[in-house]
Chains A and B, each alone.
Chain A
Amino acid sequence: SQTIHQWPATLVQPVGSPLSLECTVEGTSNPNLYWYRQAAGRGLQLLFYSVGIGQISSEVPQNLSASRPQDRQFILSSKKLLLSDSGFYLCAWRHRTGGNGGYTFGSGTRLTVV
């Protein structure tokens, strides 16, 4: 069966510090991968998605970047965090062929920038 892992679960970082959040998927090949963010009291916003190694699409201009160094690994990064980067970050995957299936989300990372 397929599983998705995100870590860490919680993170407190000072303003100006770097960020690296990692997401890995097991049990499938060639998944589409996604990073979402949910600010406090707000909806989920798609940040980045990837349909293959090294292929990154950005949905919202911001202080963050994403990379996909391996087929089942998706990394969210920042060189210098801002207070506004605080939020709940979620990684998700779905089959590349799309089909009719849904998206599977990880358990999320709660980031607090102080």
Chain B
Amino acid sequence: DAKTTQPPSMDCAEGRAANLPCNHSTISGNEYVYWYRQIHSQGPQYIIHGLKNNETNEMASLIITEDRKSSTLILPHATLRDTAVYYCIVKAQGGSEKLVFGKGMKLTVNP
């Protein structure tokens, strides 16, 4: 599975949109982009995933570039409860059972 690169941390003001970047320049054609987050002392929470089209659900939007080498997770109106470590993961459907978590990115939403 391809590796991802995320900045170590980011701050965002409450109520503003949070745009979380992720680079995955070695992504293969059959690999999906997954986003999870982990709030302190809790298990990771699935947010969204996509292959090549932009995706939106009740939690967030996922924008994947046309060449699929990078993506952005958008939290449209960040709240204090969105403070967490966000993980961008690429994984092939039906591939290895490993869901490999990197170091992720700490998002701090400030009042």
Q: Do the two chains bind?
A: yes
Instruction: Given A102-B34, A102-B36, A102-B49, answer yes or no on A44-B44 (Cβ-Cβ < 8 Å).
Output: yes
B42 x A103 contact (CB < 8 A): no
- Chain B interface residue count: which class? 20 to 34
Set A49, A90, A100: member contacting B49, Cβ < 8 A: A100
Interface-forming stretch among B12-20, B60-68, B100-108?
A: B100-108
Interface residues, chain B, with chain A CB atoms under 8 Å away: 32, 34, 36, 41-46, 49, 51, 93-94, 97-104
Q: 10 closest pairs, A vs B, by CB?
A: A105-B43, A102-B46, A44-B101, A49-B97, A105-B44, A90-B43, A108-B43, A43-B101, A46-B98, A98-B94
Between A and B, 9 residue pairs with Cβ closer than 8 Å are A46-B97, A49-B97, A92-B43, A99-B93, A100-B51, A102-B46, A104-B46, A105-B44, A106-B43
